Structure 1
Amino acid sequence: MRRAYAMLGLGTAVLLAAASLTLIPRSSQASSTEATFLVPAHDGYGVADCLVSGHSCGQAVADTWCEAQGYVRATSFRQVAVGEVTGSVQKAALTKLPQPVSITCTN
């Protein structure tokens, strides 16, 4: 009789533990719903190339970049002006490089 109660208690504990694990959020998803990233223009994704040339490929490339970061899609993307970049970099050095791209991603 004691064995039956012990097995019932153990089974209940295992069932509750398994049920609680289904309520834990997945770690593969991004923690916030929206984030903005500064992407170098020469990163290899081609977002800056699409913006400069005026092609419609910018949205598709930005969406792909956001998916690679764990987000669903890009809500906006644009080239960033020299004055918007952190003040720790000299402006003379930034004018020689292609301007970075700001990409806002969302879940």
Structure 2
Amino acid sequence: MRSSALTACVFLLAASAAFADSRVFIVANQADGYGVDECLARGEKCGAHAARSYCQSREFAQATAYRRVDPDEVTGAVPSHGGDKCSGHGCSEYVAITCQR
């Protein structure tokens, strides 16, 4: 009986470790005219396929989340242009895609 309990514990630990392997990718969101960028940036359902394809191209099984991020959220790595906020299509926006194995 002990060996089956030990085997079950090892299996659960292995399974939880596999699910814990996730990574967040920050990608530039550039308007392409197809609307995919808006779906990703707004976290809308229509962006799910694009996010999943992005993850699969990096050898992950699925996308668990995707959303627009402010340049300030990217640990200050993205330079800002002073105090003015740009919101037009010519401005750089970023999308965070969380991929999981």
What TM-score results when the alignment is normalised by the length of structure 2? 0.59
Higher relative contact order (CA 8 A, sep 6+): 2
Aligned pair partner of 2:25 in 7, 29, 37: 37
How many equivalent residue pairs?
76
> Which of 1 and 2 has greater Rg?
1
1:42 positional shift: 2.0
Unaligned runs of 5+ in 1: 1-31
Change (3 A) 1:46 1:67: farther
Within 2, Cα distance between the matches of 1:59 and 1:97?
23
Unaligned runs of 5+ in 2: 1-19
Indicate the percent of aligned positions where both proteins have the same amino acid: 33
Match of 2:64 in 1: 75
More strand, by proportion: 2
Shift of 1:86: 3.3
* Higher helix content, 1 or 2: 1
Using the size of structure 1 for normalisation, the TM-score is 0.56
